[in-house]
Structure 1
Amino acid sequence: MSRSTTGSEGGRPFDDEAVLLVGHGSRREKSNEQVRELAVALEERLGVPVDAGFLELAEPAIPEAIAGLAGAVSEITVVPLSLFAASHVKNDVPLAVQQARAEHDGLTVNNGANLGIHPAIVDLLDDRAAAIEAELGVDRTAEDVIAVVCARGSSDPDANGDVHKLARLLDEGRDFARVEASFIGVTEPVLEDTLHSVAKHRPDAVVVIPYMLGDGVLTQRIRDRADEFDDEYPYVDAAAGDPLGTDSRLLDVLGDRWQEARSGSVEMSCDTCKYKVELDGYEEDVGGARAMLRALTHQETHADREDVADDPHTHDAPEKHVAVCTNQTCAADGAPAVLERLRQAVRDSEECDARVTRSSCLGRCGEGPMVAVYPDGVWYGDTDEDDADRIVSSHLDRDRIVSDLVDQTL
């Protein structure tokens, strides 16, 4: 599916645009280097400059990466190197794109889709399964082989649903006895339970395919679970294989996502997005303001921990996060002064553990300056500098809401 894209399109030379490939970021430099390797390979494939950026834990961050490209090109397409459309793709990347558009006049910034469901990925999973079968010495055309696609797991049901769709697509037209979707954490079914369940079918072999990009802590956990299962069920041969890595088929997918974004044909899963429609059990997540505040909080408070072995993705966040809308209307009403007074009051306080940051529009134009306190979900409206002192001394210091300032609660 490779394509040549050197030259120009519609009179615009390709060297006037660039791609920013956005990885999650990791404490393991090997994982970050994988993103950079894919960026180099994608640049060779597309014939346009491709840089790597990261959401967290690695540098450069998205704003710095865009700023580094902005002086050389007039158009940048941001493509997330993410398997599914969960909170990073739905919140954090669009927020960074929105901020870049506001900060760089004359620069076109396109927001691309995640890797998602793609025929090249299904083929890649099939090859990963075949490699495990070769290692175990089994033949799915002659023996009962069950495949288990094991993903990270998400709090977003739409992302989890895509794992089940991938498993189904892998099952279609192939000779597996069955293909199951499973997760290493966060949601169910967890891998251990899935393996015990498929053992009841008494297959000849179980191949576990880690649906991960990198060979990190979670991939090793998948291998460990498969090895434990293999020891516990001597009548079943079982093993886990390699993650997706830097396979060239990922470039096919990334190239398609680039073309979609630059042509304005990106498709997102809005009909099943928990931030846009009410899904049973996730009703409290509906609403753009909630999603934006969640993205701001995640972006500003993610930090390293030393104990990476126990949890590869942990957060050392302050107790409170305060977001102050500094968009045009709120700014005209004095939001910058409120922001600075809040920051000063927090610095002066010996009681509160809070971080105060700017936010873009919170959707309450004309009722500001707006101040949102998270995780409490309390929004204060029509605030001034004196109100900032009250918010700190009462809400942040003593956890007492300033009731006469409350605009709404989420």
Structure 2
Amino acid sequence: MSVDNAPQIDAPLDDDAVLVVGHGSRREKSNEQVREVAADLESQLEIPVDAAYLELAEPAIPDAIGTLAPTCRRLTVVPLSLFGASHVKNDIPLAVQTARARHDGVTIRYGSHLGVHPSLVDLLDDRVRSVEADLGVDRAEDDVAVVVCARGSSDPDSNADVHKLARLLYEGRDLGRVEASFIGVTTPELDDTLHAVAKDRPDAIAVVPYMLGDGVLTGRIVDTAEEFDDEYPYVAAGAGDPLGTDHRVVDVLADRWREARSDSVEMSCDTCKYKVELSGYEEDKGGARAMLRSLVHEAEHADRDDVDDDPHTHDAPGKHVAVCTNQTCAESGATAVMEELRNSARDADCDARITRSSCLGQCGDGPMVAVYPDGIWYGGVTTDDADRVVSSHLEDDTIVSDLVHQTL
């Protein structure tokens, strides 16, 4: 929705306020970008706008709402998030609902994430043109391919939006091809996408990080593009800047505020894994399960705050266990294996994080379970094997040799 076609707001703006919610980072520069966006939005709307963070930075959402609520009658919470994944669908709504109960004299509305918006497509195109200028190519004369690289998510709805953005960027522009890719969590990963695009022998490949800040993942995108450029001398390749605090990001936030304030927010529920049953994501279905996940997430932060006075920290686990839940592994019982691993690890109180993974490329040999940083892949794992993997490998660092499929 463009600003010109935004919903009409009849109520006066007196006593309105906005809270922009960023993810939060250990890098203060990234947190400052959220505050900068909030300040620019305040200048545009001419009403108070504050910033809050989901984790890793302060203020937290409840604290920020507690500060704003006494000063206004209508408060709109808008997530500074590119996609509608679990934070947007679960964690922020939980905080908003809790705040409504605590501040019953204030109308608190929740806006949509940034999502797929024409202004962001135009901003992406500008980032591509900057890479073209750096590489010395012109799409009108040269064959320029583009790779839009996002973070990657366990939410299929979120990942699908990256492909939609890539297609919208391609339409009506003189680009050879535009592909969607990811820096982690799901496929296709950036390195694989670059090699696939190179087979068409374009003159140049412009990689654009579809991220707001220039954090660790953006750095990985830039490094991957540089490594590819060194490996393929016949294709000029380079990475652009993230979206940053460009005025178009602020414009989209303003649109999302107008939608929320006029009760015209539209979420993409037709393909949301928390609303409908999607193949491979059956265990994620259901509002109660989603709410439980958010409550656990919130409690984990509270426990850390009480112990070490370091708010919203996420300590890296000693082990990260990835369970392939793609189609063939799922059919072999991978979801049950993952749940049994989690139960066993919880009972043993071991320092491990167990998550689902996209395809590990060993179809037919699953369910596949990969343990990092050890680089051990187990194949054909059953629920009966879960206790052994936890007690031997996760607790005692002893590999379960009869289950080993390969080592990296």
Aligned-partner Cα distance in 2 for 1:124–1:299: 34
Task: Check if 1:37 corresponds to 2:33.
Answer: no
Equivalent position of 1:102 in the other structure: 101
Equivalent position of 2:225 in the other structure: 226
Aligned-partner Cα distance in 2 for 1:167–1:315: 33
Q: Displacement, 1:300?
A: 2.6
Residue 270 of structure 1 aligns to a residue in which SS?
coil
Task: Check if 1:84 corresponds to 2:87.
Answer: no
Equivalent position of 2:235 in the other structure: 236
% of aligned pairs identical?
Answer: 70
TM-score relative to the length of structure 2? 0.73
Aligned-partner Cα distance in 2 for 1:9–1:94: 23
Q: Displacement, 1:296?
A: 1.3
TM-score relative to the length of structure 1? 0.73
Equivalent position of 1:69 in the other structure: 68
Q: Displacement, 1:251?
A: 1.3
Equivalent position of 2:137 in the other structure: 138
Task: Check if 1:156 corresponds to 2:155.
Answer: yes
2:9–2:258 contact (8 Å) kept in structure 1: no
Aligned-partner Cα distance in 2 for 1:2–1:148: 28
Task: Indicate how the Cα distance of structure 1 residues 232 and 109 shifts in structure 2: closer, same or farther if over 3 A, else same.
Answer: same
Equivalent position of 1:20 in the other structure: 19
In the TM superposition, what whole-angstrom CA distance separates every residue of 1:36-93 from its partner, at most 9, and x where no partner exists? 0000000000111000001001000000000000111011000000000000000001
The 5 Å alignment of 1:361-400 reads none
Aligned-partner Cα distance in 1 for 2:349–2:177: 51
Aligned-partner Cα distance in 2 for 1:165–1:292: 28
Q: Displacement, 1:299?
A: 2.4
Aligned-partner Cα distance in 1 for 2:31–2:270: 32
Task: Indicate how the Cα distance of structure 1 residues 284 and 104 shifts in structure 2: closer, same or farther if over 3 A, else same.
Answer: same
Aligned-partner Cα distance in 1 for 2:216–2:138: 30
**Which amino acid in 2 is paired with 1:90?**
K
2:56–2:314 contact (8 Å) kept in structure 1: no
Residue 59 of structure 1 aligns to a residue in which SS?
coil
2:9–2:262 contact (8 Å) kept in structure 1: no
Task: Check if 1:285 corresponds to 2:284.
Answer: yes
Aligned-partner Cα distance in 1 for 2:146–2:215: 21
Residue 56 of structure 1 aligns to a residue in which SS?
coil
Residue 71 of structure 2 aligns to a residue in which SS?
coil
In the TM superposition, what whole-angstrom CA distance separates every residue of 1:132-181 from its partner, at most 9, and x where no partner exists? 00000000111110000000000000000000000000000001100000
The CA RMSD measured in Å over matched residues stands at: 2.1
Q: Displacement, 1:353?
A: 5.5
Q: Displacement, 1:108?
A: 0.5
Aligned-partner Cα distance in 1 for 2:251–2:291: 31
Q: Considering only CA atoms, is the larger Rg found in Structure 1 or Structure 2? A: 1
**Which amino acid in 1 is paired with 2:191?**
E
Task: Indicate how the Cα distance of structure 1 residues 313 and 114 shifts in structure 2: closer, same or farther if over 3 A, else same.
Answer: farther
Residue 212 of structure 1 aligns to a residue in which SS?
coil
Q: Displacement, 1:252?
A: 1.2
Equivalent position of 2:125 in the other structure: 126
Structure 2 gap ranges (5+): 306-312, 319-346, 351-408
Residue 167 of structure 1 aligns to a residue in which SS?
helix
**Which amino acid in 1 is paired with 2:12?**
P
**Which amino acid in 2 is paired with 1:217?**
V
1:15–1:49 contact (8 Å) kept in structure 2: no
In the TM superposition, what whole-angstrom CA distance separates every residue of 1:267-299 from its partner, at most 9, and x where no partner exists? 101110001100010011101111001111222
Structure 1 gap ranges (5+): 305-311, 318-350, 355-410
Q: Displacement, 1:352?
A: 8.1
**Which amino acid in 1 is paired with 2:286?**
G
